[in-house]
Amino acid sequence: MQNVLRSLLVLVCLCSGSTAWGVEQVSQPVYKVVELLEVMMPLVDGTRLATNIFLPEGNGPWSTILVRTPYDKRGSDNKTAHFFAERGYAYVVQDTRGRYDSEGEFSPFADEGKDGYDAQSWVASQPWCDGNIGTAGASYACVTQWLSAPRSHPAIKAMVPRLTSSNVYEMMYHRGAFELATIGLWALKTTNPIDYGRNKPRILAALDSLPLVTLDIVASGRKIPFLRDWISHPAEGAYWRPVIVDDEYGDIDIPVLNIGGWYDIFATETVNNYVGMVRDAKSDKIRKGQRLLMGPWQHVMSGRFGRIGELQFGQDSWVDQRDLQLRWFDQILKGALNGILDEPPVRIFVMGENRWRNEQEWPLERQRATTYFLQSETGANSRSGDGALTTIQPNTAVRDTFTYDPANPVRTKGGALLGIADGPHDQGEIEDRPDVLVYSSAILKEPIEVTGHIKLILYASTDARSTDFTAKLVDVYPAGVSEVFHLFSYRTWKKFDDVFILIYDVMKSQIVKPTNINLPGVLNGARTTYAATKTLQRKLF
């Protein structure tokens, strides 16, 4: 297969600092905790969900925090439950339908909108709830918040979604390509964690099996119906409609504190949720109630000591998110005047410079777009080629080609992933492959910051019926180590004998005719700091 490549993109924004989100007065741990465990909460359809309730000792009623999770309510959330209950909150954590002690069949995401609304109604009706509910949780427990949010339960006054998406289709099919290592492995691990732990090598080897729909049998010897359904619905349509709410932001009349990580697989979606809520807010009050926090973290939120992947970002990169959520709920649910809604709405960690910075908006109004072009003379294959990334538009078009062998794929290493070599990792081994096109800038004369929109315009042709194109923006260190800033991909579904255009955009990817190329984009937050010794690279394969 041959691919013809040319042209590109990106951003560059030089920014000033500002004060940090402070830790002001918060509720203090003055209450003993009363535990009501294994309460079976009835849904409207009669299914009962196992629920643990943690109450401050006393008469109440109390502002309440609701967490709905498929990962066992008896887990680490109980420590968080005590933290909040000691500070005057009722804390409710619940197994979602079909998980652990809850009744019903587990069909991930499908029932979370209506089940979430039913749970909110039940909690609001309890004598220990004062009618003010905040939702919280990360990953899947964040999706449960978004899917129920457009139903607009009047008791829901605040949300804190962390590290996830409000569009389940995009979670499954990232720019058209099924997230095999992420969603496939998640399905296998979630439905049988013991087997996953014992047989992980066999399960990982099964990722190479075809047809994809039989992955469950090859990996575990059993069928997983919901995984087969996902694989059988590769196009966004009616099947996915109930689990997509990123076009319903205008129906969500709630202040939202969005928390994400630059190296989280859902980094783009976290940012998009903030942007969408600000854009479509029903009122100025709700618009001003939106917040975004983006750190250098992965999905699992490791890095307490500052190390993410192969890089050290410093201990200041860690944020005690429990304390931050406490301030958020104190002001919105309890009415405490702690100033959190008076602070700048956006706070980002600038990697490389390794410091936090407050901003007034996203995207940043002062960002400055810079166009780079991909070019070569004899060929950009591998980092030994002469591929160049330059701001000077070439006078002639030169074709760069590579042959893709599906039996020898270029495996992802590093980037915004879910648990498999996520975070920044050296790309040297990948750059040595002849089926990877590498375009490098000249050595930088001064630091530059990459914060904001990233977009790639790719001119290509292929003789394959279906193939994937991926691109990485990479920071090359003085010793030649290449650490990935950002990765994006796109899948084509038909053969293109003529040149076509792919617009790689963190928000949308499209195949278009060579006219009207102008799409909005989103993302990144990094700064190169080794002036005169670093380069930037764009890799395509």
CB 330 within 8 A of CB 257: no
Peptide bond into 61 cis (omega under 30): yes
Percentage with pLDDT > 70 across the chain: 83
Model confidence pLDDT, tens digit, residues 314-336: 889 999 999 999 999 999 999 99
DSSP single-letter state for residue 62? E
pLDDT exceeds cutoff 50 at 448: yes
pLDDT for 213 equals 92
Q: What beta strand segments (E) does 405-454 contain?
A: 437-440, 449-451
CB atoms within 10 A of CB 426: 19
pLDDT band, residue 483 (cuts 50/70/90): low
pLDDT tops 70 at residue 499: no
| 249 three-state secondary structure | helix
Q: Is residue 449 within 8 Å of 369, Cβ to Cβ?
A: no
Cα 252 → chain centroid: 20
pLDDT beyond 50 at 482: yes
Segment 292-318, tens digit of pLDDT: 999 999 888 766 778 888 888 888 999
Work out the pLDDT band at 288, boundaries 50, 70, 90.
very high
pLDDT, tens digit, 9 for 90 and up, residues 353-384: 889 999 999 999 998 888 999 999 999 999 99
Question: How many Å apart are CA 138 and CA 274, to the nearest integer?
Answer: 16
Report the pLDDT value the prediction gives residue 196, as an integer from 0 to 100. Answer: 83
Phi-psi domain of 248 (left: phi exceeds 0; alpha: psi -120 through 50; beta: other): alpha
The domains located in the chain, with CATH, are 33-169+239-343 (3.40.50.1820), 177-231 (no CATH), 373-540 (2.60.120.260)
pLDDT for the residue numbered 528: 41
Q: Give CA–CA dist 443/400, Å, rounded.
A: 23
Binning pLDDT at 50, 70 and 90, where does residue 194 land? confident
Distance of alpha carbon 4 from alpha carbon 6, whole angstroms: 7
Cβ atoms of residues 143 and 201 within 8 Å? no
- Which amino acid is it at 441? S
What is the pLDDT averaged over residues 474-497?
Answer: 60
Mean pLDDT score, 416-443: 87
Distance CA 85, CA 49 (A): 21
- Check pLDDT > 90 for residue 466: no
| Cα–Cα distance, 354 to 447 (Å, whole number) | 13
Strand partners, 519: none
Q: How far is CA 379 from CA 244, 261, 298, 396, 471, in A?
A: 43, 36, 35, 14, 17
The mean-pLDDT minimum among 49-63, 189-203, 295-309 falls in 295-309
More confident residue, 160 or 60: 160
Residue 110 has pLDDT above 70, yes or no: yes
User: Per-residue DSSP letters for 495-518?
Assistant: -EEEEEEEEEESS--EEE-SS---
Is 139 part of the annotated catalytic residue set?
yes
Query: Is the pLDDT score of 405 beyond 80?
Result: yes
Mean pLDDT of the chain: 83
Cis status of the peptide bond prior to 394, with omega within 30 of 0: no
Confidence grade of residue 521 (pLDDT, cut at 50, 70, 90):
very low
What one-character-per-residue DSSP string does 142-201 give?
HHHHHHHGGG--TTEEEEEEES--SBHHHHHEETTEE-IIIIIHHHHHHH-HHHHHHSHH
Span 146-169, mean pLDDT? Answer: 96
In this predicted structure, what is the pLDDT of residue 105?
A: 96
Residue type for position 11: L
Burial class (CB in 10 A: 0-12, 13-18, 19+), 66: buried
Options 118, 264, 330, 426, the catalytic residue: 264
Query: What is the token pair recorded at 494?
Result: 């038909």
∠ Cα 406 266 362 (to 5°): 125
Distance between CA atoms of residues 291 and 128, nearest Å: 29
Alpha helices in 292-388 (DSSP H): 321-334
Does 264 score more than 70 pLDDT? yes
Quick check: 479 pLDDT over 60?
yes
Q: Side-chain half-sphere of 424: how many Cα atoms within 13 Å?
A: 24
22-40 pLDDT per residue, tens? 455 799 999 999 999 999 9
Residue in 153, 174, 299, 486 annotated catalytic: 299
pTM equals 0.87
pLDDT over 70 (residue 255): yes
Residues 333-351: what's their mean pLDDT? 94
Residue 438 has pLDDT above 60, yes or no: yes
To which H or E segment does residue 84 belong? Answer: helix 77-85
What pLDDT does 22 receive? 47
Tokens of 430: 């990948």
Residue of 27, 63, 139, 376 marked catalytic: 139
* Band of pLDDT at residue 19, cut at 50, 70 and 90: very low
Give the Cα separation of 1 and 12 in Å (integer): 34
Residue 167's Cβ-count burial label (10 Å; 0-12, 13-18, 19+) is buried
Six-digit token pair at 158?
A: 């605040």
Q: What is the DSSP letter of 97?
A: T
Strand bridging mode 467-476 / 535-540: antiparallel
Query: Where residue 256 falls among pLDDT bands split at 50, 70, 90?
Result: very high
Residue 327 backbone zone (phi > 0: left; psi -120 to 50: alpha; other: beta): alpha
Cis amide leading into 406 (omega within 30): no
Q: Give the residue carrying structure tokens 């969900």.
A: 49
Other CB atoms within 10 A of residue 236 CB: 15
264 is catalytic: yes
Instruction: Work out the pLDDT band at 175, boundaries 50, 70, 90.
Output: confident
CA distance 141 to 77: 11
Active site residue 453: no
